[in-house]
Structure 1
Amino acid sequence: MGHDTPRIHHVGHIVEDMAQAISLYERLGFAVPPPSCPAMSRREGAAPEAFGAANTHADFPSSFLELVTRVKEGDVTGLPADTHLVPLEAPAEVLSLLVERIGETSANLSACLDRFQGMHILMFSSPAIDAAAERLTAAGVRHGGVNTVRRAAPEGADSVETVRYLEIDGEGPDARPGTVAEGRVGFVADLDPDVQGARRLNHPNGAVGLVEATLCAADADLAAVRQRYETYLGRPARQEGPAHVFDLDGAALRLVTFSGLATALPGERPPALPAFVACTVAVQDLALASDLLRRNGLPVHETPSGDMFVPAEAALGTAVVFRTAP
């Protein structure tokens, strides 16, 4: 029987300034389209204004890297001029609920940014998300149930894309709905290959997929964090040197301690714990990708395993790792 969480769906890099983040990711060699942001009129007859949160993706065939930012009311200085505004149009009772949910998302983004700018989102892909929800409930994991949203699909695909997702809730009286200590973690129904294939998938750095996320925990908390993810994913981790690795289909979640991070990613120091500290993409030619990064003025470091990475201090708070595609 197959797992109900076989792959990484996407990771999310939460940033203060979307224009700055897109410029960075283009220097990293990713093709990034203009961001989208919900919009609504603040008063009758006025033009719609951006609010809540804006995001964009660097897409791969079955996964993506997300860039996301909060949008403060009346302040769009961090959004590029070509941001695509999506007016909210719905019956009054639905619209009020939608605005409330967008407000909650913006509040969660703000809470993440209060910790640090960087990677705060890890979502796993599920071919059986309802079964995954039932398994989590049976294991005592709190979550908000399976939600369904619809959004505009890219040009060349069906006009509407349906997204079904589940967010895990943290424990404790101060936990915010839809977030755990390290950020937003959950499951999303598998991407529609026809819709995903219509997106921009050709990257100058030769990236072809998202293959790893790295989570760093305090040494004393390692056992508890490992147990949490064994429950979330329904599978054990294996030990690989100082790391504990959850093997997925063509990808992995790597759990390291603070003391072990210096070995995995030399020079990296997370500003808070637990924290997602890096994401890894597979590229067709590591030497060519490395050369592109250096030509674009980015520092490039090497891991003990031979991967290349741009450190967090040069990449808005999260290390971006490049690995030769299998």
Structure 2
Amino acid sequence: MPHDTTRLHHVGHIVEDLAEASALYARLGFSVPPPSCPAMPRSVGGAPEPFGAANTHADFPDSFLELATHAQAGETGRLPTDTRLVPLEAPAEELQQLVERIGETSASLAAYLDRFQGLHILMFSSPAIDDAAARLTSAAVRHSGVNTVRRAAPSGADSPVETIRYLEIDTQEPNTGTGAGTVPEGRVGIVTDLDPGIQSARHLDHPNGATGLAEATLCVADEDLAATHHRYATYLDRRPRQEREGLVFDLDGAALRLIPESALTATLPGEELTALPALVAYTVTVRDLPLTRDLLHRNDIPLRETPTGDFFVPAKAALGTAVVFRAGCGVPLDHR
């Protein structure tokens, strides 16, 4: 029977300063477009100012990396100068709800940053999200229900509008809002598969040769490993395999790696924790690993090697998350 959750959709890197993060990702060899941020006037007749969450993506054919931060009205110093402000538009009777929802998102990002700057969002991809929602409900997993948002598609896409359907997993009491999930490690959920006709219109070519999101690594206290294993086996409807000291949930062309705290330095030599549980790393595949390594050396990016032969940028050099590079195959979709 086909799985209703098939791959990694995206991971979210929450940062204090989006301008700094965008510059870092450029040095890492990712193509990151100017970010966008909701905006609203602070007074009647005033110019729109940033409000809520600002973000940008490094896109791949079927996944992406998200960079995000929170922005207060009137605050522009932590946003790149080329940030695209998107004025809030909604019917009068819906505007207040929209403002509250964006405010909740901003508050969630601020709370994540209070824990640490780094990876706080883990979203899985689904070809059948309604089936996934029903399965989670049957398994007594609290979640937001399936939400739908629409936004303008990029120029050259097959459709002028991109529709996104998603749910967020929540271990707390049910709520009526659509705020971020509150599992211990951050925001975790499921999103409908990216539309190839829309995704292919985005910039998918990266100087570092990155072709896709291959893995996310979640580190937990040793005594919490069994309970976390059970949670994700339920979320993903899969059993993991044992690999060295950790567990690996194999997805379609990607994986979630679950490791105990005692295995962190064996998995990612030299890494240190600031909090538990924590998403400590993500892995991308690249077309030519030696060429990627050369680009990073030229950009003065420090590198370490894993026991399996991958190499990674330490979290201290990458704003709180280790960035792992792995040899892989695949050619990006043509950029239209």
TM bin, normalised by shorter chain, reads: over 0.9
Deviation of the 1:171 alpha carbon = 3.4
In the TM superposition, what whole-angstrom CA distance separates every residue of 1:64-123 from its partner, at most 9, and x where no partner exists?
000000002321101011101111111112111111110110111011000000000000
Residue 177 (structure 1) shift: 5.4
2:218–2:277: 8 Å Cα contact kept in structure 1? yes
Q: Do residues 12 (structure 1) and 12 (structure 2) align? A: yes
Q: Which residue does the alignment assign to 1:120?
A: 120
Q: Kindly, what percent of the aligned residue pairs are identical? A: 70
Q: Note the C-alpha offset of 1:172.
A: 6.9
Which residue of the partner structure matches residue 333 of structure 2?
Answer: none
Q: Is 1:156 paired with 2:159?
A: no
1:169/1:178 contact within 8 Å kept:
yes
1:244 match: secondary structure: strand
- Structure 1: which 4+ aligned runs deviate by more than 3 Å? none
Counterpart selection for 2:283 from 280, 283, 305: 280
Please give the alpha-carbon distance, in whole angstroms, between the structure 1 residues aligned to 2:194 and 2:27. Answer: 27
Partner of 1:267: 270
**Could you list the per-position Cα deviations for residues 268-302 of structure 1 after superposition, in whole angstroms to 9, with x for gaps in the alignment?**
11210000000000000111101111110110100
Tell me the distance in 2 between the aligned counterparts of 1:114 and 1:73: 20
Helix, strand or coil: the match of 1:25? helix
Instruction: Please give the alpha-carbon distance, in whole angstroms, between the structure 2 residues aligned to 1:202 and 1:7.
Output: 21
Matches of residues 242-321 of structure 1 in structure 2 within 5 Å? 242-321=245-324
CA distance in 2, matches of 1:263, 1:178: 30
Q: Is the 8 A contact 1:161 1:195 kept in 2?
A: yes
Map Cα deviations across residues 29-79 of structure 1 (whole Å, 9 max, x no partner). Answer: 000000010111122111111100000000000000000000023211010
Q: Indicate the residue corresponding to 1:87 in structure 2.
A: 87
* 1:78-227 alignment, distance < 5 Å: 78-157=78-157, 158-171=159-172, 178-227=181-230
1:36 touches 1:85 (CA, 8 Å); kept in 2?
A: yes
What's the TM-score once normalised by structure 1's chain length?
0.98
Residue 233 of structure 2 aligns to which amino acid in structure 1? E
SS at the partner of 1:77? coil
Question: How does 1:9-48 map onto structure 2 within 5 Å?
Answer: 9-48=9-48
Q: Which moved more, 1:153-162 or 1:240-249?
A: 153-162
Following the alignment from structure 2 to structure 1, what is the Cα–Cα distance between the partners of residues 37 and 206? 23
Letter in 2 for 1:156: G
Mapped contact 1:39–1:85 kept (Cα < 8 A): yes
Structure-2 residue corresponding to 1:2 = 2
- 8 Å contact from structure 1 (residues 170, 177) kept in 2: no
Under a length normalisation based on structure 2, what TM-score does the superposition of the two structures give? Answer: 0.95
**Matched-pair contact (CA < 8 Å) for 2:180–2:187:** no
Amino acid at match of 2:222: D
Which residue is equivalent to 2:66?
66
* Greater Cα offset, 109-118 or 176-185: 176-185
Q: Output the amino acid matched with 1:119.
A: L
Matched, 1:232 2:261: no
**Unpaired runs of at least 5, structure 1:** none
